[in-house]
Structure 1
């Protein structure tokens, strides 16, 4: 069963979609009966690419052009034509668009739609992305024989917002890699030696600095904690600079000067598991997620979790995390304080988290994805 699998999202800085694309491809390669070839842009690849960093000026240019519809529309239209030409003569394969989009393809197609926030909460995205997704996701829905998504919440949203028959949708929950696990103290100290943090001495939040991640509320909540508590266990932010974040970065800079925040920027994949395992508490106040992988990765690392009660996070986390409204800094501050100092709650949360995280694997995601491929092949 030959599958052409898109890997455009496999690049640095790695996003949630990029991690899904990379880890699912690796797990599918371990399954029998599936022969993967890869498409990056309009090029066919025989091997899964290594995530590489683009030129540092590219994100700056993309953000600068996001308000202008014509340049981005022309570029994406031309890319779509090149992809369609590159796919001629491959009708015997199944085409899997892993990142919302499907080009014109003469065979059977399947698309992964991770969430529909570009439709329900467009303020969480750059304007050019909203315009493009409104157009291309509608085309993908029409072209796809099957639609994959990552949670029951997203399936319900795709059905409600895009009008898709739920019988066409398959839910393939994300997985947690084996690199996310509790670390021995000596190994953890060595792994964190290059970072300005002490094992067990910081509160961690991971994610791109952008409106959807709700970091303003997190900073307000953390700033309201007693000064001694903030100094003893500072907040560590790990994530790419993002967009629409100039005011937030000024707030981050003030907190850094005050001594209770450490901003690491983007942390490479090789360092992230140790950074996660070394945290005393993981906090994730996101306003919207299609799935929400970082809290589960923290749970797998043996770290208690406080997160927002966004529907997908509640679905994935179950009763293993303490959940609060993402709009209430006071409740978030109370949850953080408990997470840092209440040893009884911490031990209970750690045990529940390890048990919850054990339910999610990339092998299971690949099995469900392979089943969807076989439906099309039949």
Structure 2
């Protein structure tokens, strides 16, 4: 998984959305500098940023500043450092910053996490409120954080909620509590201790925090902690020219980590969710599962009726006026307001703007100040709740002209007070208005003027708009809390009804009617009564339907071609299987919980009642402990081999385990969850992945409250242990993987005994081989390999070599000639050598088949198998 390429794509996407490069200079940085930014996003250490490849001295200084201080260098620093030689510049800047007071107080900070098992209590829900605790801010995101926390404190629906904030002094997270509307550290608060199954809920504006999210999230994920994020919007990506450049950089870094590690993005509007999904698709990266949490409206409930309104405000608001609310910053688009001040005056409307001065150009600030002197415009930078309440109640019209809003709480507040409302079509503004507002297009320069002018000219239409608004019912914070509870419940222990495998729907992929019939007969023999869905080809549909009819099985037969309408079915086996199952599992014919299987699965004996799960957990059966350790045959690498490694790389890159669940027997699948996970990684599976292993490894981490992994043995998987060896042989074997011509199909009991004996023998050889000195493919005199008569051994290699052969000698006589089957070996495809049939000492020669040149040699020790010692 090339995260750095994906991070660079995010950086370029934001740069492409920036209509004025002069306002965000770093979008014109060199490729080497962008590589360094991507490395920071991916949590690389300072030494691994590749700054030696960055030639531009100004870029170097900015990058060092951003890495340590999370801001760009100020012009003064650039001027001071511009005269220094490029050599040693990185080290000079680094040393100066590390000695600075700013770094100790505000710089990027290390962190430590403590983990311990708490088996006696349920999982903790950790709400990270660091930014609100640190900044003490009370508007925007921090207001949401306070409201959510206040409501949750009074709720008993979810237990074990713990509020935490990062302590820079201690470099750890500590518990805090909401006291008199401020978060304060608890007395003698110890370091927060995480446990597998806990939930870390990042609800704050944490891109402003000192702790880098990539290493934090990755550490939590690998420890089995589930990660949730409230996603407010992606404005710094979509409209970077309307955000402060430092905010853009910080947000890109934060967004990249959250998008790759969050288990759920809790979006504050449908517009925000759509924007996030679109960004993920553009990046061809992971798309975290999403849901929408409507924000509440509490302003209308505030008791500010006794507050005295300042004379200036009272006098100004006696005439008809238009109200604007929001911080003065580029995203709010107050330059459009300025351009329309004359229009408002001509219509007999005064204008009041309530909002503090934020990051905005001097030109806009100056023009607002000049407009206030002219007398038709009033700018209130520190209005109290009581004043704002008065203005909502008395305004003729509330207007929002924002370029983009992830939600737009002031619009919600204005509607709650019965205001007539006009908004732009920026982001979620129309969604929040829910049909009670008028809107204009931002790409229409005269849109605002026409909309307001038409409303003023038509009093009847204005009265109708006001009358309609009187029916508006704003969402309340209890609605938001209900969504939080819904999200959290998915990660908490829950009881379900027992799973009766005999009634579960069977979902097959099969183009072999005879094999399908054999599999279905075995399942019916031991009591399966459920329905069947079969995905086959158009050419085999009739034959498959005949099989179902002959067995009296209720079923649905679907065709590959129907699932790939207008698309080409992938030729690669692994990619085809993944894409088929992804489409199949979303079909309306598929039941909420089902068994997924191939037609080579044969049930050998009755299944225990809890085979696929109990009242707490689904059971996923795995046959190999780590796909990263999977080894291919040197006689030919397959699509399956590639799929195992590809799946392992994808899973481990995102902090999951990589057990292999393609165990050649039915697996229980929950439709909603498998659709969630396949959609989540749909952009990341080019070439195909192991569909069962992707599903279960993610579920084992994300839904550890509902899934457990069980090692399993399937008869005839592998067909022969000379191919590969699992790490165990299970005490109970319930399924067989059918191979045509294999004797086990005729006598499963005898086949199982022979299979167990073969495992016993190969396992003994594995132990014997582990005692001998490992062989290396280099010309040396002290290599030793050991094994049992007639068995294959694997010799690991550390380089790629094609055209390799071997011979084993007893003196001058060749007893095993391995030159006929030429091997292509690599770290993932070991050299396979077959041991002589008789115990004894031999010599191995490994060589290039074409030239005959020797590669390596070894002494060969063949030990007698115990049956021979016992006269067997």
Q: Distance in 1 between matches of 2:323 and 2:296?
A: 21
For residue 98 of structure 1, what is the aligned residue in structure 2? 203
Superposed displacement of residue 90, structure 1: 5.3
The CA deviation at 1:266 is 3.5
**Structure (1/2) with the larger helix percentage:** 1
Provide the residue aligned with 1:161 in structure 2: 279
Quickly say closer, same or farther: Cα 1:340–1:133, change in 2 above 3 A: same
Give the structure 1 partner of residue 165 of structure 2.
40
**Alignment match, 1:297:** 413
| CA pair 13-227 structure 1, distance change in 2 beyond 3 A | farther
Given the two structures, how large is their TM-score scaled by the length of structure 2? 0.36
Distance in 1 (CA, whole Å) between partners of 2:451 and 2:301 is: 24
Return the alpha-carbon distance in structure 2 between the equivalents of residues 279 and 296 of structure 1. Answer: 15
Structure 2 residue 209 is the aligned partner of structure 1 residue 209: no
2:388 paired residue number:
272
Greater Rg over alpha carbons, structure: 2
**Superimposed CA distance per residue, residues 300-345 of structure 1 (whole angstroms, 9 cap, x where no aligned partner):** 0111101102241111213211101234453312333455564323
Residue 786 of structure 2: aligned partner: none
User: What pairs up with 1:313-328 in 2 under 5 angstroms?
Assistant: 313-328=429-444
Aligned-residue offset at 1:220 = 1.1
1:86: how far off? 4.8
| Pairing partner for 2:487 from 369, 372, 375 | 372
State how 1:304-315 maps to structure 2 within 5 Å. 304-315=420-431
Residue from 139, 143, 163 that aligns with 1:15: 139
Report the CA distance between 1:142 and its aligned residue.
2.4
Paired with 2:347 and 2:452, the residues of 1 have a C-alpha distance of 14
Between 1:361-370 and 1:94-103, the stretch displaced more is: 94-103
Q: Secondary structure at the match of 1:276?
A: helix
Q: Is the 8 A contact 1:284 1:308 kept in 2?
A: yes
Once the two structures are superposed, residues 19-51 of structure 1 have per-residue CA deviations (whole angstroms, 9 ceiling, x without a partner) of: 221222222223223243322343534422556
> Structure 1-normalised TM-score?
0.79
Residues 155, 166 of structure 1: 8 Å contact kept:
no
Aligned counterparts, 1:1-378, within 5 A: 2-7=124-129, 8-9=131-132, 13-34=137-158, 35-42=160-167, 44-48=174-178, 86-89=191-194, 91=196, 93-99=198-204, 101=206, 102=213, 103-104=216-217, 105=220, 106=223, 107-163=225-281, 168-177=289-298, 179=300, 187=305, 191-193=308-310, 196-197=313-314, 198=317, 201-227=320-346, 229=348, 233-269=349-385, 271-339=387-455, 342-356=458-472, 358-378=473-493
Inter-CA distance 100–254: structure 2 relative to 1 (3 Å threshold): closer
Rate the CA distance shift 1:235–1:178 in 2: closer, same or farther, 3 A.
closer
Pair 349,44 (structure 1): closer, same or farther in 2 beyond 3 Å: farther
CA RMSD of aligned residues (A): 2.9
1:128-182 alpha-carbon deviations (Å, 9 max, x no partner):
1111111121112222221100111111111121347777111111111162599
For the 8 Å contact 1:304–1:339, the answer to whether it is kept is no
Query: Displacement, 1:217?
Result: 0.6
- Within 2, Cα distance between the matches of 1:95 and 1:296? 29
What is the Cα deviation at residue 191 of structure 1? 4.6
CA distance in 1, matches of 2:397, 2:237: 33
Aligned residues: 338
Cα distance between partner residues in 2 of 1:109 and 1:331: 43
CA distance, structure 1, for counterparts of residue 254 and residue 347 of structure 2: 51
Q: Which runs of 5+ in 1 are unaligned?
A: 53-84
CA contact (8 A) 1:284 1:307 kept: yes
Task: Return the offset for 1:108.
Answer: 1.6
Rounded to whole Å, the distance in 1 between the matches of 2:286 and 2:460 is: 46
